[in-house]
Amino acid sequence: MAIFTGAGVAIVTPMYADGKVNYDKLEELLEFQIANGTDAIIICGTTGESSTLTHGEHLKAIKYAIDVVNKRIPVIAGTGSNATDTAIMLSEEAASYGADGLLLVTPYYNKATQKGLIAHFSTVAKAVPKTPIILYNVASRTGCNIEPATAAALVRDVDNIVAIKEASGNLSQIATLMSLTDGNIDLYSGNDDQILPIMSLGGIGVISVLSNVAPRQTHDITAAYLAGDIKKAAELQIRAIPLIHALFCEVNPIPVKAALNMMGMEVGPLRMPLTEMEDAHKEVLRAVMEAYGIALPSGRYTSYT
C-alpha cells in the first residue's frame, strides 16, 4: 500500500529572526496544512532547509512533526545525506520516532556512479527494513541523476524501497522508469508544474512546494485526477502555473518563505547562504498570489534583510 496518495507538502522550517528553529510556529503550520486537506507532511526536505540544519535540529524537527501530527496523516522524514553513515543515522532515528516513510535524496557533491547509488540506497534501506523509502531524484540540485534502470533495480531488489519523487523534469525518463518497472513503483511528482503530466504516467501524487501556500488547491488538483475528472484537474493545474513560476523565480525555498511571510504566517528568515528575496521578485510574487486569490494582510510582511 502506498505511503500516501494526493498532495504532500514539502514543509518549510520556520525560524525566529535570530535563525533558531521556531517549533511553535512549526506546529501552527502543521495544523494549517492538516485543516486544509494536505495528504502528507514531508519534513526536513529541500524546502525545509535540511542542508543547513544541525543534526540535532534535523532530528528534533522530525520528532516534533511526528508527535504533533499524531498519525492524522502520514509524516515522511527527509533523511538523505551525501554521507551514507549519516543517512543511516538519520534514518534509524526517524524510524524509531515512528516516521511513516523516509525520503532519501541522491548523495550531493560526491556525484556517485549508478553502482554507487545502488550501494548507498541499499545500505540505508537495509538499516531500516520496516520503514518504506521514497527515492528523491533532483539532479539539478545534487549533480547526480538516478537512471531509470537504477531505480528499477532498487525497487526490484530492496523490499522497502517503494517509491520515487521525480524532480528531474524529464518526462521521457519518467516514462522509461514506469515501463521498466511495469508501473510497480509509487511515483510522485517533485515539480508542481508537472503534477498532471506525471500522474498521467502512473503517478499517485505530488510532493509539493506550492502546498505551503495553497494546500487545498494543490490537494484538489490531485483529488480531481484520482477521481477521474481529468478536465478539472487540468484546469486547476493550469490556473496554478503563474504562482508556481513565481515560487521558483529564485532558488527554493527563498520565494515560498517570502510568500508565507506575506500571508502573515511569520515563518522567519532563511539560513545562509540563502538570502532574502529580491524586492522586484517580491512585487511579482505578491501580485501573482493576489491574482490567485490568496489573502495577503496589509502591513504584516516582515523583511529579514
The residues annotated with a catalytic role in the active site are 136, 165
Q: Which residues contact 203 (CB under 8 A, 6 or more apart)?
A: 166, 187, 188, 189, 195
DSSP 8-class letter at 134: E
Cell numbers found for residue 161: 524501497
- Where b means 16+ CB within 10 Å and e means fewer, 150-179 reads bbbbbbeebeebbbbbbbbebeebbbbbbe
Q: At 83, which helix (H) or strand (E)?
A: none
3 state SS of 264:
coil
Cis peptide before 273 (omega within 30 of 0): yes
Q: Name residues whose C-beta falls within 8 Å of residue 113's C-beta, 6 or more positions apart in sequence.
A: none
**What's the CA gap between 170 and 33, in Å, rounded?**
29
Strand-pair partners of 136: 105, 165
